[in-house]
Amino acid sequence: MEISDLDHVSQKLLEFKSEYQIDILPDWGEGPDGSWQNGKWLKDELDKLHRFVGLLAGAMGGNANFIKNIGGVQIKKANIGSHGGEAYSHRVSLSEKGPFSAWTIVHELAHAWDANHRWQLSVALEKYTGGYTSLPFSFLKRLLGQRDSGFWKPEELPGRRGRFPGCNAAGYFYGDKPSGSNWSFNRKEDFAESVAMYVGWNGNNDLSTQAHARVERYCLHNGAKDTFFGQVDNWADYARHFYPEDGDYARTKRWHFIDGVVSGKIILT
């Protein structure tokens, strides 16, 4: 943040607060010796963040709903290792290492939304989609050789990354068709990814290309490289788990669940 951006940025921070109850933790300003400190945020990043938050708020039916759902959140930049972001109730940290995507912002805010509801949104999604979590069943499934991974961990090879239901660290047997799965998949990640898919699928926005790329990769043949994510995998083998009816993600139970929650058709207690 340059000192010349200060007026613009101060105005932006007020907008974040009044429109979304978002507090951006400023790390710029006057240092101990009186000189200007740029901090880690760039002016353009704050403008982008504002636009990305607006996409989620729009999907939720407006700013008032966003504020009600998330209940106020502080966003800061932090050193969080290899992750792009981290979220808890009312707190989101973004990696200070690189630029963030619209996908990351919506994904992390979805976690904050879930956290603000004692993580019961992801529990409800798991139930609605017909999934369950069981470490003993996961162990048994892997023991019986019904796995697409190593026994204790995934392997960085096509068809070995742990994408089958239950073949993951959490023992998460997802129901219906998520847009993807990996060793870290669990109900919370499922919820956050489902929100990002929902925001991107029907719109023509910063998440749409990625949302459609996630679905279309299952039309590739085994061993092909998916051009969006740059990954080689046995896509055709995974289509039955992830490719929605007629390639239309809006026909999945996840899409209906998120749509029901944002439209108030599904009421969670």
Footprint of Zn ion on this chain (CB under 5 A)?
A: 189, 192
Closest CB 100 distance from Zn ion, rounded Å: 13
Comparing CB distances to Zn ion, the nearer of 193 and 233 is 193
Q: Would you say 37 or 184 has its CB closer to Zn ion?
A: 184
**Residue whose CB is less far from Zn ion, 1 or 125:** 125
Query: Shortest gap between Cβ of 111 and Zn ion (angstroms)?
Result: 6
Closest residue to bound Zn ion by CB: 192
Least separation in angstroms between residue 52's CB and Zn ion is 16
Question: Residue 138 or residue 194: which is nearer to Zn ion going by CB?
Answer: 194
- Sequence-distant (≥ 6) Cβ neighbours of residue 20 within 8 angstroms: 53, 57, 63, 66, 67, 70, 73
Q: Which is nearer to Zn ion, 57 or 109 (CB)?
A: 109
If the CB atoms of residues 179 and 234 are measured against Zn ion, the closer one turns out to be: 179
Shortest Å distance, C-beta 190 to Zn ion: 10
Closest contact distance (angstroms) between CB of 7 and Zn ion is 35
